[in-house]
Structure 1
Amino acid sequence: MPFLILTRSGFDDVVANVDTPGAAFLVNPGVASDDEIAQLRAAGAAVQVLPSTVDPYDSAGVEAALQAAAREGEPVWLERGTAAPPAAPAAAREPTSQAEDDQHEALHHRLVKTAGAVARAALRSLGSPGGRQPMAVPYIGFGNSGKLWVKGRVLDESIFREQTGEDSRWSNLVALYQRLESDEVAGARVLAHFQGQTFETVTDRGGYFSFEIVPPQAVPGGAHAVELELPDSRGQDGQPVRSHAEVIVPPPTARFGIISDIDDTVLWTNVTNKLNMALMLARSNAHTRKPFKGVAAFYRALKQGAGGNEDNPVFYVSSSPWHLFGPLVEFLRVQGIPVGPLLLRELGVREVFKLTSHGNHKLEKIELILGYYPDMQFVLIGDSGEQDPEIYTEVVRRHPRQVKVIYIRNVNPDPARIDALDKLIEEVSATGTQLILAPDSVFAASHAAAEGLIHVDRLASVRSDKKEDDSVLPGA
């Protein structure tokens, strides 16, 4: 995937964040010295100096450069999104000091805007569907016998097509942009119908809506459909636009629940490097992305429990934006990982890849889940890459009786990080709960079997799943 680099600040950002071997850089004349270009080429990068200077503030010139660079259908990452030029003359637009450099957005803060510049051109060539109308996009809800939680979003957009394993990286980029750039509808009335009753709410400025439904009759365990209606929007049949939200209520057979992170726990996204995460999302989809080794079999074993038919509920809490709900659910289904409610983050399109703290979001959503099931214990699963151990330890402090065990996948070998984890393990152990630092899914599954969380016979399937993944996935 080529990188179109137009300014010095962009050159510094890209070189610092992109693995040089195999990378392709298209660089504006004068941005880098001959020695720097020679060093990049010696490190395995393909570097091409543009034949003429492209003004980063000239949208027509930038789009022409993009189209020229992507003539083989491969997506191009633009170093800087086009923008209205400042009042200064063109010659003064290029930063001339460190202070001016600091005023420029970092590369990973500009990726979404950049993806849009590329994808808009692709959408024009592919043809945009006409007659768009508001639609209610429901997320998977959850609840207990006396209360249901339903969430969704109203968008002014056509239904996204399903992706396949044959989709090109260009198609993946366009699909990603479509999801990130969907137009939300604020102030829309939404009705929810369940057990003969109707509940009403209005979308917020991000287009999101939520219901806490207290039905007149007890809700049995299983999956239930809540009908959603947009009373002020009409479909082609002249009737109000409708959809259905699936809501999961744990059955009486459930002995415990599972709350799992997604980023770097179930799916490799490298969330500690937002640039690489963006590139991964653009290059792949649910059919080509792969889970961590053995995760699918381990999560199936936890859902089935030691009895084999417990149907323990699985919840996913992630800092990924709600824009990616569809691709994440599709990923779980394609990879054979149990599907359950996903509690994601409300972000605007320009905030999706910002380096912001996500601890409060995860803690808040875990508190929401625990509040619905005060008498249920939970297995918490995460990774050591960001704040999962700290977040889960705080959950233990607040709800020591509701946490059965914590599994942390060790993805950060830094000695300082290991020392910090040792202190958390000691603190959690003092409450009677275990925090297990697991190198892989087989290790975690073996511990779970010993604790009576899964049937010992399921260990073979976890080992087999990991072995199968070893044959197609690099790394440990």
Structure 2
Amino acid sequence: MEATARVAQGRQHLQEDEEDRITRASGNFPDFESTMPALANRFKFSFKDNITSYLGARNPFSSPVDPQKDVVWLFDNTAYQNRVGRWKANFVACYFVKNSGKDLGEVVAWIADQVGLAQDEEAEARIAKRVQPLLDSILPAHTVEVDLQGIAVRLGPSGRDGISTNELAIPGHDYKDAQVITSKVINVDSTPCNTTFAASKGWAIISDVDDTIKKTLTSSPVGILKTTFADEPEPIKGMPELYKHLVQKLDNPPFWYLSASPYNLYPFLREFRDTYYPPGTMILREASWMNLAGLLGNLTQGTEAYKIDRMEQVHGWFPKRKFLVIGDSTQSDPEAYGEMYRRYPKWIGAIYIRKVTGVAEMDDGKKNDPERFETAFKDVPKDIWYVFSDPDELYQKVDELVSKE
């Protein structure tokens, strides 16, 4: 799966790795999670949809979405060429019952109280907008039609998580590397899908989001709630300029933004990406949980395995591309990227890790210990990986990558 947000079908097991344990212990996550509101309304759907959703993509009893009641998110994606030269792409769609979330006011008030807002109407409106997709009922066993280059194509049916994924051949042949086309759902309220065409060779980029390109600078539960729901998102200083340089020097490479954030935050993160960074596919995490605590679990548990799994999928589509992978030291990016290099040494052309400091709840000594990086990048050549504090350190290194293609 992929498309502007490659989300997993099925429940992702949230098994903690060592970096997760450090983060969760320092922030006392389990105690805080026990106090978080329930989101039980997300999984209230009809008996028919409930039973038939177990059939997944082969469900013959699915229903089309109701334009009056439902909403669909169609995620951006990246098209690749198969062995005979046909262009294909994974189309991921998420289905919701529009504005069906119950107790929105109570959840907003709870978050506002936790993050210390003092009757800030603008901030409360921001919280409501971002939390609504976490409360709305998902819609399994449904389908929708999308206009794909003038041809109506059915997507779905959605599974038990309210998500469908369809690998489709794109009509036509004369597409060029970096070309973009837009597809829209027919007669239903939906986000558009921008499909970027990427040839089989050349540079490509996988980038983490939080504390790599978007400022979070917290490893506490309250801090995560604040930056996720209440604050206006801020880019990491110098990173938007660096990414523009990447576009210029690496000949407009395709981008994947790989985040452990749940797919419910897609509109928020997509807007942030469009404001500061190059377009690209957003890979977000499936969210099969009924308590707001699941948000924190998504962000802090099983992140290494999750990211390796998603990068494996990208490798399957683009095995001959050369990838620059960019992350930070707050979680398991070094370990995940190091493992991908050991699996595919010709695939990973460079690894850049941002050293994050000054986070009150984070043990800088453990997270930024040189021994940690040496272990994470065992058997990875020294000229492949680099830990940086200031994006300015990377310009010359990026320029040198051109000769490695």
Please report the TM-score for the alignment, with normalisation by the length of structure 1. Answer: 0.60
Match of 1:281 among 228, 233, 238: 228
Provide Cα deviations, 1:260-310, integer angstroms capped at 9, x if missing partner.
00011111224633331112223213xxx211110000011112225xxx2
Q: CA distance change for structure 1 residues 113 and 169 in 2, over 3 Å: closer, same or farther?
A: farther
| Aligned equivalent of 2:75 | 139
Number of residue pairs aligned between Structure 1 and Structure 2: 315
Kept after mapping to 1: 8 A contact 2:341/2:348: yes
Higher relative contact order (CA 8 A, sep 6+): 2
Q: CA distance change for structure 1 residues 339 and 144 in 2, over 3 Å: closer, same or farther?
A: same
| Aligned equivalent of 1:194 | 148
Q: CA distance change for structure 1 residues 429 and 200 in 2, over 3 Å: closer, same or farther?
A: same
Kept after mapping to 2: 8 A contact 1:425/1:434: no
Provide Cα deviations, 1:241-270, integer angstroms capped at 9, x if missing partner.
676422111268x73011000011111224
Q: CA distance change for structure 1 residues 381 and 172 in 2, over 3 Å: closer, same or farther?
A: same
Give me the whole-angstrom Cα distance separating, in 2, the residues matched to 1:389 and 1:411.
Answer: 13
Q: CA distance change for structure 1 residues 209 and 385 in 2, over 3 Å: closer, same or farther?
A: same
Q: CA distance change for structure 1 residues 272 and 327 in 2, over 3 Å: closer, same or farther?
A: same
Q: CA distance change for structure 1 residues 267 and 383 in 2, over 3 Å: closer, same or farther?
A: same
| Aligned equivalent of 1:121 | none
| Aligned equivalent of 1:339 | 279
Kept after mapping to 2: 8 A contact 1:112/1:352: no
Kept after mapping to 2: 8 A contact 1:139/1:245: yes
User: Quick check: 1:414 aligned with 2:365?
Assistant: yes
Secondary structure of the corresponding residue to residue 411 of structure 1: coil
User: Quick check: 1:169 aligned with 2:86?
Assistant: no
Structure 1 residue identity aligned to 2:337? Y
Match of 1:256 among 200, 203, 216: 203
Kept after mapping to 1: 8 A contact 2:308/2:336: yes
Provide Cα deviations, 1:108-130, integer angstroms capped at 9, x if missing partner.
3544549x9xxxxxxxxxxxxxx
Secondary structure of the corresponding residue to residue 258 of structure 1: strand
Structure 1 residue identity aligned to 2:386? I
Give me the whole-angstrom Cα distance separating, in 1, the residues matched to 2:340 and 2:36.
Answer: 34
Give me the whole-angstrom Cα distance separating, in 1, the residues matched to 2:121 and 2:344.
Answer: 45
Provide Cα deviations, 1:212-244, integer angstroms capped at 9, x if missing partner.
112454361311233434xxxxxxxxx666764
| Aligned equivalent of 1:178 | 132
Provide Cα deviations, 1:146-186, integer angstroms capped at 9, x if missing partner.
21111120111159xxxxxx972212222222122122111
Match of 1:213 among 142, 145, 168: 168
| Aligned equivalent of 2:104 | none
Summarize the alignment of residues 361-380 of structure 1 with structure 2, pairs less than 5 Å apart: 361-380=306-325
Kept after mapping to 1: 8 A contact 2:27/2:221: no
Structure 2 residue identity aligned to 1:107? F
Kept after mapping to 1: 8 A contact 2:255/2:278: yes
Q: CA distance change for structure 1 residues 150 and 158 in 2, over 3 Å: closer, same or farther?
A: same
Give me the whole-angstrom Cα distance separating, in 1, the residues matched to 2:144 and 2:171.
Answer: 20
Structure 2 residue identity aligned to 1:265? T
Tell me the CA shift for residue 426 of structure 1: 4.6
Provide Cα deviations, 1:345-394, integer angstroms capped at 9, x if missing partner.
01135211124222222112111122211211010000111100110011
| Aligned equivalent of 1:26 | none
| Aligned equivalent of 1:293 | 237
Match of 2:158 among 203, 218, 239: 203
Structure 2 residue identity aligned to 1:362? K
Tell me the CA shift for residue 203 of structure 1: 0.6
User: Quick check: 1:228 aligned with 2:168?
Assistant: no
Structure 1 residue runs of 5 or longer lacking an equivalent are 1-15, 19-103, 117-130, 160-165, 230-238, 455-476
Provide Cα deviations, 1:310-338, integer angstroms capped at 9, x if missing partner.
2111110000011111111111222x311
| Aligned equivalent of 1:42 | none
Kept after mapping to 1: 8 A contact 2:72/2:188: no
| Aligned equivalent of 2:398 | 448
Secondary structure of the corresponding residue to residue 272 of structure 1: coil
Kept after mapping to 2: 8 A contact 1:259/1:316: yes
Give me the whole-angstrom Cα distance separating, in 2, the residues matched to 1:374 and 1:281.
Answer: 34
Percentage of pairs with the same residue: 19
Provide Cα deviations, 1:382-435, integer angstroms capped at 9, x if missing partner.
0111100110011112211111100000126315732110233452117xx611
Report the aligned-residue RMSD: 3.2
Secondary structure of the corresponding residue to residue 449 of structure 1: helix
Give me the whole-angstrom Cα distance separating, in 1, the residues matched to 2:331 and 2:249.
Answer: 28
Higher Rg of the two aligned structures: 1
Secondary structure of the corresponding residue to residue 156 of structure 2: strand
Kept after mapping to 2: 8 A contact 1:257/1:376: yes
Please report the TM-score for the alignment, with normalisation by the length of structure 2. Answer: 0.70
Kept after mapping to 2: 8 A contact 1:319/1:344: yes
Q: CA distance change for structure 1 residues 155 and 453 in 2, over 3 Å: closer, same or farther?
A: farther
